[in-house]
């Protein structure tokens, strides 16, 4: 148990150079609200509504740092030409009283983009690419030193572009099976050089990325790392490994860690804490995505949702480091949030709950609500492929017209 006084979840907190008005962060979720690789007007509307509803900082997901770093064709990409559209989003968030974080990422071999600058998608190691079963790219390419330096430069430039676009923070995605996670995970990293083998070696390249981003923007922006504390499979990293990873990221100077879990291909229920029932899936017209969903449905056992499903793992990280930590995983009631605070976590990150009720934080603070209406049905995940983008099945669908319009277009 944490010996420090338990803070109110509605009290301010300093994260690097930032001060958040309370302890609530909208976690990064792929909303399917990008128009030709830039934010749509619907995305601006959603993130503005989230902070107007009380969330201190909202995270804009999957901002690729290069064209090769994209996982899907319309994915948000940080480029000089996209800055005005991202700026329209951050302006909307700031006008609504909150802060904005850009999640910067590179998919590595977890990609469905066939048009790329390399013959094969890059990863920690080469050889068979199991993700390629769904995209036709059956082989991946091990990165060399030049490739790594290019990606380090891409992340630093992505962070600078995020700063130019008005973001208050950047969140480096090191989890869920994307490129940096592919280096950290023993399932993907089979290298025999200084970037493979021990956990310390496997963190070497992700730490280089973190250091470059800190050097680029760390005095002006909060630099956050999101990673998988446990990968949820026997061959992957455990929570004990997750605690060691946290120590290394703290040593490198990260301002905040967001504690996620699981891998997209191997352990999606570890990430979401519950299964994706067939009856809660939308009909998917994209054949590749439909196949991916079908594979996940067959391979994953049925898991029933329980609140705070990742707390047991997150506690090991809390015991290992002193730095600020954001708990993520099944907080959907005031009682759960207060428990997180009492156990020494500094912030709570929420995804599905805030998609279900954009104003949930205001409802909590006013006493109008204690329990979220979210049922953890996970249909919001599949809804990102609908014309209006992500929405909760209990509410209205997204606006397809706004979702087709670029944020800065008039």
Catalytic residues: 178
324 Cβ neighbours under 8 A, 6+ residues apart: 13, 15, 255, 256, 257, 346, 347
Residue from 156, 107, 157, 159 nearest 135 by CA:
107
Task: Give the torsion through C-alpha atoms of 290, 292, 293, 297, to 10 deg.
Answer: 140
CB burial string 278-310: b at 16+ within 10 A, e below: eebbeebeeeebbebbeebeeeeeeeebebbbb
Residue 312 burial class via C-beta count within 10 angstroms: exposed 0-12, middle 13-18, buried 19 and up: exposed
Residues in the chain: 410
Q: How far apart are CA 379 and CA 383, in angstroms?
A: 6
Phi, psi (rounded to 5 degrees) for 292: -60, -45
- The token duo for 338 is 């207060």
Residue from 198, 139, 203, 147 nearest 172 by CA:
203
CB 27 within 8 A of CB 350: yes
């Amino acid at each position: 148990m944490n010996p420090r006084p338990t803070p109110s979840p509605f009290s301010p907190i300093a994260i690097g150079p930032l001060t958040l008005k309370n302890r609530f962060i909208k976690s990064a979720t792929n909303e399917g609200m990008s128009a030709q690789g830039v934010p749509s007007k619907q995305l601006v509307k959603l993130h503005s509504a989230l902070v107007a509803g009380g969330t201190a900082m909202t995270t804009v997901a999957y901002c690729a740092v290069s064209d090769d770093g994209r996982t899907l064709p319309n994915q948000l990409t940080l480029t000089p030409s996209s800055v005005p559209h991202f700026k329209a989003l951050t302006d909307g968030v700031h006008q609504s009283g909150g802060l904005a974080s850009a999640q910067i990422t590179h998919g590595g071999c977890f990609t469905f983009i066939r048009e790329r600058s390399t013959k094969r998608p890059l990863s920690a190691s080469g050889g068979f690419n199991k993700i390629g079963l769904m995209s036709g790219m059956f082989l991946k390419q091990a990165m060399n030193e030049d490739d790594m330096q290019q990606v380090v430069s891409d992340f630093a430039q992505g962070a600078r572009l995020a700063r130019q676009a008005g973001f208050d923070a950047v969140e480096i995605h090191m989890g869920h099976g994307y490129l940096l996670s592919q280096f950290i995970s023993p399932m993907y990293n089979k290298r025999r050089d200084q970037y493979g083998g021990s956990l310390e070696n496997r963190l070497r390249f992700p730490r280089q990325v973190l250091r470059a981003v800190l050097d680029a923007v760390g005095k002006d922006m909060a630099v956050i790392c999101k990673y998988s504390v446990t990968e949820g499979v026997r061959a992957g990293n455990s929570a004990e490994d997750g605690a060691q990873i946290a120590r290394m990221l703290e040593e490198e100077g990260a301002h905040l860690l967001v504690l996620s879990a699981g891998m997209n291909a191997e352990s999606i229920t570890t990430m979401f804490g519950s299964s994706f029932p067939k009856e809660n899936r939308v009909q998917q017209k994209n054949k590749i995505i439909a196949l991916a969903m079908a594979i996940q449905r067959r391979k994953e056992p049925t898991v029933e949702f329980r609140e705070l499903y990742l707390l047991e793992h997150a506690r090991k990280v809390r015991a290992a480091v002193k730095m600020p930590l954001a708990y993520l995983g099944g907080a959907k009631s005031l009682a759960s949030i207060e428990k997180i605070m009492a156990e020494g976590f500094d912030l709570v990150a929420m995804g599905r709950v805030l998609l279900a009720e954009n104003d949930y934080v205001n409802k909590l603070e006013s006493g109008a609500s204690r329990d979220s209406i979210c049922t953890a049905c996970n249909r919001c995940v599949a809804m990102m492929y609908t014309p209006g983008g992500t929405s909760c099945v209990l509410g209205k669908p997204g606006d397809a017209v706004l979702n087709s319009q670029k944020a800065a277009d008039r």
